[in-house]
A = this chain, B = another copy of it.
Amino acid sequence: MNKLNVGLIGFGTVGTGVVRLLQENSTLIRKKTGLKIHLKKVMDRDITAPRDVKIDPQILTTNVDDVVLNPEIDVVIELIGGCEAAKDYILSALKNKKHVVTANKALLAEYGEDILKTASENNVQFRYEGSVGAGVPIINTLKEGLVANNIRLIFGIINGTTNYILTKMSEERREFGEALQEAKRKGFAEADPRLDIEGIDAVHKLAILCTLAFGTKVDVKDIYKEGISSLTLQDIEHAKEFGYAIKLLAIGKETDGEIEVRVHPTMIPLTHPLASVRYEYNAIYIQGDAVGEIMLYGKGAGQMPAASAIVSDIIELAMRVDRSLVRGGSLFWGGKRIKKMEEIESRYYLRFPIIDRPGIIGKIATILGDYQINITSVKASLVAGERDLGNVEILTHKAREKSVIAALNEINPLPIMRGKSVLIRIEDNSE
Contact = CB atoms under 8 A, between A and B. Distances in A.
Given A276-B276, A312-B146, A321-B324, A297 B299 contact: no
A242 interface: no
A32 B290 contact: no
A288 interface: yes
A304 B277 contact: no
B302 A298 contact: no
Interface string A287-309: 01111111111110010110111
A381 B339 CA distance: 60
Contacts of A140: 137, 140, 144-145
Contacts of A325: 1-2, 4, 35, 318-319, 321
A141 interface: yes
A369 to B, nearest CB: 37
- Identical subunits present: 2
Given A312-B148, A321-B325, A324-B321, A31 B215 contact: yes
A383 interface: no
Contacts of A234: none
Contact of A129 (B145, B326, B334): B145
Interface string A23-49: 001001101111100000000000000
A151 to B, nearest CB: 10
Contacts of A290: 17, 21, 25, 135, 304-305, 307-308, 311
A273 interface: yes
A327 interface: yes
B326 A33 contact: yes
Contact of A31 (B297, B298, B299, B330): B330
A62 interface: no
A296 B297 contact: yes
A322 interface: yes
A288 B144 CA distance: 22
A221 interface: no
A140 B148 CA distance: 15
A409 interface: no
Contacts of A292: 135, 298-299, 302, 304-305
Contact of A147 (B29, B297, B321): B29
Contacts of A358: none
Nearest to A270: B276
Contacts of A276: 271, 273, 275-276
A309 B147 CA distance: 9
Interface string A326-353: 1111100110000000000000000000
11 contacts: A2-B328, A4-B325, A28-B148, A135-B294, A147-B312, A289-B304, A292-B305, A294-B297, A295-B296, A315-B326, A320-B320
Given A136-B291, A147-B315, A273-B276, 18 more contacts: A2-B326, A25-B150, A32-B147, A32-B215, A35-B329, A135-B145, A137-B137, A141-B141, A144-B316, A146-B308, A147-B311, A148-B308, A148-B311, A273-B281, A290-B304, A291-B299, A295-B295, A319-B323
Interface of A: 1-2, 4, 17, 21, 25, 28-29, 31-35, 129, 134-137, 140-141, 144-150, 215, 271, 273, 275-278, 281, 288-299, 302, 304-305, 307-309, 311-312, 315-316, 318-330, 333-334
